[in-house]
Chains A and B, each alone.
Chain A
């Protein structure tokens, strides 16, 4: 991590978005006082991460990227272990985890190591919440998780947030950025941008076209060969294309395609996605 500065507001759901190696895990580990920074300062609720390790650990809930529960203890034993470690009981804060733990209850006597991936994740979340932390830090909770379970997990995060808990969550999935109040884009240990998802996508400076054609590969090749093209990337069945020269409109674009014998079934102007903006900022650097 290189000279990273950011602040998270109370009650916010804040996302650290970036690929592997961007520095997400390092930043979270510094904040939960597992590792120390070489340089610079970090604090949680005005407590310094170097000086107030113990007090910080009491008020944060931390879910590491790797499964970190005791595989030989049962579901219920894991939960009561974490409760006792934080000098509380399962019943004291049960309301916070009730909706999640209800799904685990049928398996409460099963060893944690024998749970399915989705269940392990829910149990880890319950264990991170059992002492009703003020701040919940989650390191890539949805990595390797299928698209349906990812949606469910984010729904759980919104419920936790509604109980007044501040959440800092990291993810390599760009589409999850839209579910955060504010996000920081991280790449190679540096911050590319910090803002609300809406303001982030506003940083994409050009008009963006989405093009669909049966000749998918020919379309990409032909557009990449056009020197006027400033941006050209595949997004599912569409190709997203933009021009620094804002006089180029759908008609000119269509004409160019025709000279390459490509017929587009659809050319529409669209709003840039989070991923478009991340790619733009990766290529052009940050403006802030």
Chain B
């Protein structure tokens, strides 16, 4: 299998503080990779480096074939990103958001037209596509934001707590979309605070104090810690000293 994300001894220091401490791992094509850790463990710093937003202090990372240190702009063009906090422009309509994201990613007019139709058809948005995003329910926004993160057909998509605060049915429908994208060969890199969602990942890493303390399939991790849920694995591992 070809790694789409390849991380080698990647570190980031802020003054004396080591936010990410020489982490190494690989994520394969079409894999759903859960990137877990307590608040302050270094997840956000690592994600920012992998998406070309922050220059590493040392070590290397390749994302979608590009070096995050020397080819940050190419990395940004070839990844998708979605977070619960910011994804869509509330004062634009659904259609305008689609066109805006298509434009940002440099798609041609024809491509934008085709993909916009694809998104509208898939999510049955024809009747609401001219409504302002702020007027549609949160569940729809999340699905639309995910579709837009994929509009330029990236090899890998970073999802930063994409399901925070959504209702339990929409949360599961959102995972259906994740599986579908992974099945189409998109690599999924996801963070979540819902431990049941950790069970849905192909592999999971748990960061503690800037280090990756555990990495494996959910069943491997449960077996090696001799517990019956990912929540229990997390409770055993995640309390480092970062939050003290």
A residues contacting B by CB (< 8 A) are 18-22, 116-119, 143-151, 172-174, 187, 217, 233-237, 275, 278-279, 282-283
Contacts and interface: CB of A to CB of B under 8 A. Distances in A.
Contact of A117 (B39, B164, B167, B175): B39
B243 A151 contact: no
B193 A235 contact: no
Nearest to B40: A116
A40 B200 CA distance: 44
Interface string B20-43: 000000000000000001111000
A275 B172 CA distance: 12
Those 8 A-B pairs whose CB atoms lie nearest each other, nearest first: A19-B167, A236-B199, A20-B165, A236-B196, A146-B38, A172-B165, A237-B199, A118-B243
Nearest to B37: A146
B169 A148 contact: no
A159 B86 CA distance: 35
Contact of A118 (B40, B138, B198, B229): B40
A279 B169 contact: yes
Contacts of A235: 196
Given A20-B138, A148-B239, A234-B172, A282 B39 contact: no
Interface residues of B, number: 35
Interface in B157-175: 161, 164-170, 172, 175
Contacts of A116: 39-40, 242-243
B47 to A, nearest CB: 15
A23 to B, nearest CB: 13
Given A145-B193, A146-B238, A278-B168, A19 B231 contact: no
Nearest to A116: B40
A19 B234 CA distance: 24
Nearest to A216: B200
B138 A144 contact: no
Interface of B: 37-40, 137-138, 161, 164-170, 172, 175, 179, 193-196, 198-200, 218-219, 229-231, 234-235, 238-239, 242-243
B39 A21 contact: no
A119 B200 CA distance: 31
Given A148-B238, A151-B235, A234-B200, A187 B229 contact: no
A233 B165 contact: no
A234 B175 contact: yes
A173 B197 CA distance: 13
B230 A236 contact: yes
A149 B168 contact: no
Nearest to B239: A148
A119 B244 CA distance: 8
A119 B218 CA distance: 30
A174 B168 contact: yes
A149 B39 contact: yes
A144 B168 contact: no
Given A20-B138, A236-B199, A143 B39 contact: no
Nearest to B171: A19
Given A19-B165, A21-B138, A116-B40, A148 B170 contact: no
